[in-house]
Chain A
Amino acid sequence: MDRYLLQRSLAALLTIWITTIAVSMLIHLVPGDPVQIMYAQSQGTTPEELEEVRQRLGLNEPLVVQYVQYMGRVLQGNLGTTIRGEQPVLELLLERLPNTLALAGAALLIACVIGLVSGFIAAYKRGSWLDTSLMTTAILGVSMPHFWLGLILLFFFAVRLQWFPVAGNGIENLVLPAVTLGVTNAAIIARLTRSSMIDVFDQDFIRTARAKGLPKAMVLYGHALRAGLVPIVTMIGLQFTYMMGGAIVVENVFGWNGVGRMAIQAIFQRDYPLIQGFILMFACIVVTVSLLMDVIYAWLDPRIRY
């Protein structure tokens, strides 16, 4: 198992390393002159001044040198400053990251509660009308564009009914975005839980337990749930990375002050240092979470020996 974890950690490091290369080269993939785009807001920037900026950003150096310089800065925790307003990128990202994590976390909680319960019920009542209607709802949920659901919730509950305050970044403002993100994902969890539980119910030891006449509840909770948990945990790990991605869109619907909203703005404003920082940070989070999930999975299921 140690060997397995070591392998996984190395793979994670490799991913991050490749990301840093991709991110540092991003600016060279942009059509047109990135420096001109960046400094378009100042009046009368002369070609000499633009050249000076190019020099300052090291854009005239060979690519390898640029990469080394970039890595040198990144390792010191310096992700550069934004074009708009010249603010430190890392600081801006870290200020907003908790908001995004809170949104993704709350949504995951909602998705897990709804998804696990309804998936479990559907599996237990397999073939019944309850199963059919739960799974129909689930496929509808999966097909729902969440920016659309979000807008409808926003206008109905916040604008029309005014159940939620519209301003601010408090817990009460978290409810609607978290529900939007959570509900569409609950559907996915429900479907996977159902199929995973069906597999478990079909296994011999459950049948035996049932045949032996053990109380129903004990069979369900004591045996089935525990056995079915392993694949579900992996899936939830994947869900978290998805939640982070989904948060980018949902934040923009609700004006939630997270990294996703900032990233979209940065793309519009072509604020490349901020875009680079965002991608790098996001990649690190996703990779770290997947690694953690691998660890937990290996710990839950000792059969894993690669």
Chain B
Amino acid sequence: MQQRVRNAMAIASAAGSHVDPVPDTQGRWYVFARNLHTVFSAATANRGAKLGFFLVLALIVVAIFAPLIAPYPADQMGAGMSLLPPNGDYWFGTDEFGRDIFSRVIYGARLTIQVGLIAVGISLTIGTITGLVAGYAGGWTERVLMRLVDVVFSFTETLIALAAVAVLGPSLTNAMIAVGVAAIPFYARVAYSVTLVERNRAYFDAAYVAGAGHLRLIFVHLLPNIVPPLIVVATLGVSSAVLAAAGLSFLGLGAQPPSPEWGAMLSAGRDYFTLAPWIMIYPGVAIMIVVLAFNLLGDGIREALDPRQKS
């Protein structure tokens, strides 16, 4: 929710980013791979992006190996005494049921990855297809689709996510869907504006003249070329999605107890703030680090792709 404006900026600059057009003779996989390489080298060239990249990598490692890293299962009551402050055995302390907060935060990383994948997956897929089709088809299709996108865009994401949860009912899955749906317009707009540019390039005309069908033109010729800016938006999108889903869980509209989702942990911890502030502090720090990581990475890639943004 927080990053509406930044995403808008990302759209503006990503649309104008430069990835040199590649002659289609090299084959579409080459285009795709070359674009990925561009993005990757962009990411590693920037200091902030490098830091972000390693943090994201760390998050993924933590999520995959959670059972090995966490000393206790996330829901194990009586792992320690209740409300122990952080110490050598329980690094982040324990909660009211004696659950180990460190273990819960570690397991929470899995849910965070899920939120990122599912929410961004939804918005990326639907948004990209909408934008591509609108940009490719032109005419009435374009007008109707993009007008709809504008309508959705003109609400804040918060409002759309809330409306979706109001209809679907509170659960983490529904929160992910809600957050994903709310972000569709960003992806659609980027895909649309890049498609407009790509459509006028020589390789597209060549393919068109050669008699390629609609689907082939859209998915084989256009799609690989609009990947870089979408990666920027999707990376920043993960940070927005994580924040938004945690916010919904915090309000009680997302993950339900005893889920170690960070927003939900934070919300449960507020009752103990004066007695045991650590219950609330560590999940908050975890959210912040993950959001920061994706922001750094996304910013880094964007700056590297867009010469105007370099400082």
A–B proximity contact (CB within 8 A): yes
B-contacting residues of A (Cβ < 8 Å)? 11, 14-15, 18-19, 26, 29-31, 126-127, 131, 139-140, 142-148, 151-152, 155, 159-160, 184, 188, 191-192, 195, 198-199, 235, 238-239, 241-242, 244-246, 248-249, 252, 263-264, 267-268, 270, 275, 279, 282-283, 286-287, 290
- How many interface residues does B have (CB within 8 Å)? 54
The answer to whether B8 and A238 touch across the interface, beta carbons within 8 angstroms, is yes
Residue of B nearest to A184 (CB): B2
The answer to whether A249 and B158 touch across the interface, beta carbons within 8 angstroms, is yes
A-facing mask of B273-311, CB < 8 A → 1, else 0? Answer: 110010011001001110110011001000000001101
The answer to whether A145 and B151 touch across the interface, beta carbons within 8 angstroms, is no
Residue of A nearest to B158 (CB): A245
The answer to whether B299 and A139 touch across the interface, beta carbons within 8 angstroms, is yes
Say if the beta carbon of B207 comes within 8 Å of chain A: no
Say if the beta carbon of B150 comes within 8 Å of chain A: yes
The answer to whether B151 and A282 touch across the interface, beta carbons within 8 angstroms, is no
The answer to whether B253 and A264 touch across the interface, beta carbons within 8 angstroms, is yes
User: Nearest-CB distance from A82 to chain B (Å)?
Assistant: 14
Quick one: which of B127-168 are within 8 Å of A by CB?
Answer: 147-148, 150-151, 154-159, 162-163, 165-168
Which residues in A have their C-beta under 8 angstroms from that of B239? 143
Which residues in A have their C-beta under 8 angstroms from that of B277? 155
Q: Pick the contact of A252 from B167, B251, B280, B309 — CB < 8 Å?
A: B251
The answer to whether B1 and A245 touch across the interface, beta carbons within 8 angstroms, is yes
User: Nearest-CB distance from A127 to chain B (Å)?
Assistant: 7
Which residues in B have their C-beta under 8 angstroms from that of A15? 150-151, 154
Listed stretches B19-27, B72-80, B100-108, B242-250; interface member: B242-250
What's the A-B contact tally at a CB cutoff of 8 Å?
142
Which residues in A have their C-beta under 8 angstroms from that of B289? 143
User: Nearest-CB distance from B247 to chain A (Å)?
Assistant: 5
User: Nearest-CB distance from B274 to chain A (Å)?
Assistant: 7
User: Nearest-CB distance from A136 to chain B (Å)?
Assistant: 9
A-contacting residues of B (Cβ < 8 Å)? 1-6, 8-9, 48, 147-148, 150-151, 154-159, 162-163, 165-169, 239, 243, 246-247, 250-253, 263, 266, 270, 273-274, 277, 280-281, 284, 287-289, 291-292, 295-296, 299, 308-309, 311
Q: How far is the CA of A267 from the CA of B281 in the complex (A)?
A: 28
8 A–B pairs (Cβ distance < 8 Å), ordered by A: A142-B295, A145-B243, A148-B288, A155-B277, A159-B274, A188-B6, A283-B155, A286-B155
User: Nearest-CB distance from A25 to chain B (Å)?
Assistant: 10
Which residues in B have their C-beta under 8 angstroms from that of A142? 2-3, 6, 291, 295
The answer to whether A26 and B159 touch across the interface, beta carbons within 8 angstroms, is no
Which residues in B have their C-beta under 8 angstroms from that of A246? 1-2, 158
The answer to whether B288 and A143 touch across the interface, beta carbons within 8 angstroms, is yes
Given A26-B166, A242-B2, 8 more A-B residue pairs with CB atoms under 8 Å apart are: A14-B147, A15-B150, A15-B154, A148-B284, A155-B274, A245-B156, A267-B165, A286-B159
Q: How far is the CA of A191 from the CA of B9 in the complex (A)?
A: 10
User: Nearest-CB distance from B16 to chain A (Å)?
Assistant: 13
The answer to whether B155 and A249 touch across the interface, beta carbons within 8 angstroms, is no
Which residues in B have their C-beta under 8 angstroms from that of A145? 243, 246-247, 250, 263, 284, 287-288, 291
The answer to whether A279 and B167 touch across the interface, beta carbons within 8 angstroms, is no
Q: How far is the CA of A263 from the CA of B156 in the complex (A)?
A: 15
User: Nearest-CB distance from B11 to chain A (Å)?
Assistant: 12
Q: How far is the CA of A26 from the CA of B151 in the complex (A)?
A: 17
Q: How far is the CA of A156 from the CA of B1 in the complex (A)?
A: 25
* Given the contacts A143-B295, A145-B246, A147-B266, A235 and B253 also touching, CB distance less than 8 Å: no
Q: How far is the CA of A147 from the CA of B264 in the complex (A)?
A: 12
